[in-house]
Amino acid sequence: MYYPQSWSRTVVRFSMYIGGSLIAGLYFDNIALAVLLAIAALLVSNYVHLYRLTKWLWQSRTMSPPSAPGIWHHIYEGIYHLQRRNRNKRKNLGELVKRFREGSEALPDAVVVIDSDVRIVWCNRNARIELGLRWPDDSGRRIDNLIRHPKFVEYLEKSDFQYPIEIPAPTNPLKTFEYRIMQYGEDQLLLIVRDVSRVSHLEEMRKDFVANVSHELKTPLTVINGYLEVLDSSYVDAPPIVSKAIQEMGTQTYRMQSLIEDLLILSRIESSAERIFENVVDMQAMFKQINIEAEALNKEKKHRITFNIDPELIVYGVETELRSACSNLIFNAIHYTPPSGTIDVVWKRRANGAYFAVIDNGDGIEDKHLRRLTERFYRVDKARSRKTGGSGLGLSIVKHVLHHHNANLEIQSRVGQGSEFSFLLPVELIKQKEGV
């Protein structure tokens, strides 16, 4: 441990030195000359030490400082101490970087560190194999010059790294890679690329399976339904048990048909590659049509349904999907609100997007169910849903449609007071008026 030279000691030493020269001056009867000589000697000695210091700093190979008297000793020791501290810090940092690199090399994923200008800082071995990066040749090159898939370039440009993207591998289009970017350090990004070919293949198989089974079931059900209708109308004097059976079979066949219809819609939306910015949806016309269907559905329950629609609010999107989402929410409100309720449908512009809401004064839903409502086949009350003919897929369809349109379903509900199902389409999807 080194203690800094105290000022008082330096002053005392300097005073003693000058005092000595004064005494020598008195003795030789020339004080001025004696003091001048003493100061000149001090200057020369300091210059010599400065020279030795510079030589030690720039030319010497040894870390330990040369010996020196007085304050120079402290300067040497101070610098030596700082140098040692820096060396230790560098060593620790080096160890840390080495450990990080060893850890990243051991990962089964490709890892690339990029800076804020998306230039490559470092990549691991898997990145070289799977992404075809060359190291160190590609160091400092822009990552979007090397991975040129449009979806990846858009992902980088948007800088919204909340969700990963899945695109074909640059070195093998038969493989599917998941790209995930996250903030790393202060101004760097970490790109992690994972092979998800197997998962996405299974997912494709699942979607195809559901779509195919639903499609295949459609024809036999139509045939059964056709015969049931014929039986129903031709057996006028049938025993009560037979007419009841025919009627029940008809109801169940109808339920199965609507279930299959919903499954087909869901799988169509899931695999929809339709670009939402390509078509304009006339929402007013769409709501007119839904209103007619809602009135037909509302004959028994006699709810007061009001449509509060902004006719000028036109959006980009997939019309069939948006129709499916809005009508599902409106028809649910009709189904799950006790007779003579009120249902308000709102479509209006907000500062942050196009807002749609269905507000009813029905029984409401308990908090514990809200989070799970959009799961497939999730129902609050199974028996009641069955009575309404619901497939349990309605809100699932709504969720997928909204996801496709970069929006989310919001559900607010209070038991005994009613529910509000709403979503906000982002501003980018609102079609601006001509000339605006």
Binding site for ligand ADP (CB under 6 A): 328, 332-333, 336, 360, 362, 365, 373, 379-381, 385, 390-396, 419
Residue 253: count of CB within 10 angstroms of its CB: 19
What are the DSSP E strand ranges found in 149-187? 165-168, 176-184
Burial class (CB in 10 A: 0-12, 13-18, 19+), 391: buried
Q: What are phi and psi of 85, to 5 degrees?
A: -65, -45
Closest separation in Å from C-beta 100 to ligand ADP: 47
Closest separation in Å from C-beta 265 to ligand ADP: 12
Please name the residue that has the structure tokens 């999107």: 317
* Torsion angle, alpha carbons of 276, 279, 280, 282, to 10: -100
Name the DSSP class of 427: G
Q: Which residue type occupies 43?
A: L
Closest separation in Å from C-beta 411 to ligand ADP: 8
Residue (155 or 421) nearer to ligand ADP, CB: 421
Residue (324 or 385) nearer to ligand ADP, CB: 385
Residues 6+ apart with CB under 8 A from 147: 131, 170
Residue (78 or 392) nearer to ligand ADP, CB: 392
Return the structure tokens found at 41. Answer: 């000697």
How far is residue 146 CA from its own chain's centroid?
23
Closest separation in Å from C-beta 335 to ligand ADP: 6
Burial class (CB in 10 A: 0-12, 13-18, 19+), 201: exposed
Residue (279 or 388) nearer to ligand ADP, CB: 388
CB hemisphere CA count around 39 (13 angstroms): 8
Per-residue exposure over 98-114, b if at least 16 CB sit within 10 Å of its own CB, e if not: eeeeeebeeeebbbbbb
Residue (264 or 380) nearer to ligand ADP, CB: 380
Residue (253 or 327) nearer to ligand ADP, CB: 327
Per DSSP, the three-state class of 432 is coil
Say if CB 187 and CB 115 are below 8 A apart: yes
Residue (49 or 404) nearer to ligand ADP, CB: 404
Closest separation in Å from C-beta 152 to ligand ADP: 35
CB hemisphere CA count around 409 (13 angstroms): 28
Residue (338 or 426) nearer to ligand ADP, CB: 338
In Å, what is the CA distance from 244 to each residue of 78, 318, 383?
Answer: 102, 42, 20
Closest separation in Å from C-beta 285 to ligand ADP: 24
Residue (170 or 394) nearer to ligand ADP, CB: 394
Closest separation in Å from C-beta 262 to ligand ADP: 8
Closest separation in Å from C-beta 396 to ligand ADP: 6
Closest separation in Å from C-beta 315 to ligand ADP: 23
